[in-house]
Amino acid sequence: MSFESFGLDSALLGALAEAGYTTATPVQQQAIPAALAGHDLRVSSQTGSGKTAAFLLPCLHQFAAQTSAQAAKGASPLDAVAREAGSRKRAPGARTTGPVILVLTPTRELAQQVMRAARTYGARLRALRVASIVGGMPYGPQLQALRAGSELLVATPGRLWDFIERGAIDLSSVKHFILDEADRMLDMGFIDDIRKIAALLRPERQTLMFSATFGGAVGRLAQSLLKPDAQVIAISEKGPDRAAIEQRLHWADDLRHKDAMLDRILADADIDQAVVFTRTQIEADGLARRLFEEGHSVASLHGGLPQGMRNRVLQGLRQRRLRVLVATDVAARGIDVPTITHVVNYGLPMKAEDYVHRIGRTGRAGRAGLALTLAERRDIPAVHRVQQLMSQAIPVAEMPGLEPRFRPRPEQPRAKRSGPPHRKGGPGRFASSPGNNGTRGRPRAVGR
Ligand code: AMP
């Protein structure tokens, strides 16, 4: 389905053509028409599905339509937006300082990614100014950006609330309120900030909520923020992006064995760029140091680094000065670099959902990717949780000359399964894979 068929503003269509987008992804096909029709949305979709464009394009279209209608009447479009919002009294020609589109994201990195996407899609909208206010950055420049005015604001909830409390921002003009990766925002403890922020918005605003899941607290939040007739859009977890990612599981006897396998993986000439995930910041720094000493162009990325450093690392990755990034989960959420061909789980994620986010760093925008998990005996429960979540076994593979001594015991047949039905070779079982690139598959099974 083409973007023209949605009837999007020509300025957006031009920018999309320039960005090389020809067809809409499944989440875009469903979310764009529904949002254009004015509905609130509750969207569960995986990372890498094109969700950013799915929420930005309809909001930017409505912004463009409004500004051009006002321009035709001869008024400053921004005056009109503010007047309609019934906000403050302002002199004719004065510009509003309040955003019309507000996007909340859990992390600075994701906020920056959304901002970049907004600048790409909105490149031909002259009235559009994009700003972000995120934690961990100096207040001064963010305050200046707010004072200068911005029609689209991307913010992390904690810092936004800081600015609200200081009286530095007026949210009465917000017409489109977007929560991106809502589940992660709740994980990070932003629930109160989100509720307080939402309470300041006009009740008739449009709310678009995106989350990997809508269970528990995030479901309750959706119920309280979305209008009762909100449209529910669920993009299958086993969508086309997942299919583009080949997954392999390598059993490791110990740390030395794991390091040897990592060295073998990183020596692969097929790697364009790789992200290696660790469990902790200390492990990320230590591993990056070791790989640097071995001659790799590598850096670490985690929440313990100053924001300036994190930005430089991400820029180095985008500009391909770095071939390997060693990262922890939170910091890696916003990494959107299509040239990442390999993801390596050097440490298993604490939460099974993070596995899905990790592997989603590769296989982006229709490209193929390889996700390799290096697991030790103590990781068996974490591997099970991941397979359970995905209703899918990760195919086991081995590297010639680096075969493990340790192999999990075969699974005992179980009389009864609880939960949703699984397909053959489902969770708890490790299927075989033909393997390539110096690895070969081998049928395996494992017990719980
Ligand atoms: P997201 O899920 O929003 O993080 O997007 C994942 C990646 O897909 C980003 O690199 C986008 O620039 C890219 N992308 C999004 N929509 C499309 C599309 N319709 N065609 C091609 N690439 C896209």
C-alpha 9 – ligand 1 centre gap (Å): 19
State the total domains in the chain: 2
Distance 79 CA to ligand 1 centre (A): 33
Q: Give domain status of residue 420, yes or no.
A: no
Residues 277 and 370 in one domain: yes
Taking Cα atoms as reference points, which of 162, 194, 359 lies closest to residue 274? 359
55 and 124 belong to one structural domain: yes
Residue nearest to atom 4 of ligand 1 (CA): 48
pLDDT in tens, 165-215: 999 999 999 999 999 999 889 888 899 999 999 999 999 999 999 998 888
- Domain C-terminal end among 390, 412, 443: 390
Q: Are residues 219 and 186 in the same domain?
A: yes
Query: How distant is the alpha carbon of residue 75 from its chain centre?
Result: 38
Within-domain flag for 401 = no
Task: Please identify, among 205, 234, 263, the residue that sits at the C-terminal boundary of a domain.
Answer: 234
CB 50 less than 6 A from any atom of ligand 1: yes
Q: 């790989």: which residue's tokens?
A: 291
Both 255 and 215 in one domain: the answer is: no
Give the predicted TM-score (pTM) of the model: 0.63
Tell whether 225 and 249 lie within a shared domain: no
Residue 349 falls inside a structural domain: yes
What digits encode the pLDDT tens for the residues 249-291?
A: 999 999 999 999 999 999 988 889 999 999 999 999 999 999 9
Same domain, 217 and 284: no
Q: Is 130 a member of any domain?
A: yes
User: What per-residue confidence (pLDDT) applies to 332?
Assistant: 67
Task: Report pLDDT for 109.
Answer: 86
> Do residues 34 and 147 both lie within one domain?
yes
Per-residue pLDDT for 296 more than 60?
yes
CATH number of the domain enclosing 169:
3.40.50.300
Query: Phi/psi at 247 (nearest 5 deg)?
Result: -110, 140
Domain boundary among 390, 411, 436: 390
* Ligand 1 pocket residue status of 241, Cβ below 6 Å: no
CB 176 within 8 A of CB 151: no
Q: How far is the CA of 338 from the centre of ligand 1 (A)?
A: 9
d(CA 328, CA 182): 19
Pick from 258, 244, 439: nearest CA to 340 = 244
Distance 103 CA to ligand 1 centre (A): 17
Are 164 and 212 in a shared domain?
yes
126 in any annotated domain: yes
- Shared domain for 187 and 275, answered yes or no, is no
SS3 readout for the chain: CECHHHCCCHHHHHHHHHHCCCECCHHHHHHHHHHHCCCCEEEECCCCCCHHHHHHHHHHHHHHHHHHHHHHHCCCHHHHHHHHHCCCCCCCCCCCCCCCEEEECCCHHHHHHHHHHHHHHCCCCCCCCEEEECCCCCHHHHHHHHHHCCCEEEECHHHHHHHHHCCCCCCCCCCEEEECCHHHHHHCCCHHHHHHHHHCCCCCCEEEEEECCCCHHHHHHHHHHCCCCCEEEECCCCCHHHHCEEEEEEECCCHHHHHHHHHHHHCCCCCCEEEEECCCHHHHHHHHHHHHHCCCCEEEECCCCCHHHHHHHHHHHHCCCCCEEEECHHHHCCCCCCCEEEEEECCCCCCHHHHHHHHCCCCHHHCCEEEEEEECHHHHHHHHHHHHHHCCCCCEEECCCCCCCCCCCCCCCCCCCCCCCCCCCCCCCCCECCCCCCCEECCCCCCC
User: Do 10 and 105 have their domain in common?
Assistant: yes
Beta bridge partners of 343: 275, 371
Q: Give the count of beta carbons closer than 10 Å to the beta carbon of residue 80.
A: 17
Residue whose CA is at the smallest distance from ligand 1 atom 14: 50
Residue 366 — pLDDT band, cuts 50, 70, 90? low
25 CA → ligand 1 middle, Å:
8
- CA-nearest residue for atom 16, ligand 1, is 50
On whether the CB atoms of residues 16 and 207 are closer than 8 A, the answer is: no
Q: Domain limits at 372?
A: 245-390
Mutate to test the pocket of ligand 1, among 110, 241, 318, 336 (most ligand atoms within 8 A of CB): 336
pLDDT band at 71 (very low <50, low <70, confident <90, very high): confident
**Residue 118 is encoded by which pair of tokens?**
């907004």
> Is residue 439 domain-resident?
no
Residue nearest atom 11 of ligand 1, based on CA coordinates: 50
Structure confidence by residue, pLDDT tens digits, 401-430: 999 998 886 443 344 344 443 333 333 334
Q: From the CA of 230, how far away is ligand 1's center (Å)?
A: 24
Q: Are residues 360 and 252 in the same domain?
A: yes
Within-domain flag for 425:
no
Do 302 and 378 fall within a single domain?
yes
Structural domain contains residue 411: no
Query: CA 100 to CA 98: how far, in whole Å?
Result: 7
Nearest CA to ligand 1 atom 19: 24
Distance 362 CA to ligand 1 centre (A): 12
| Structure tokens belonging to residue 107 | 């992390």
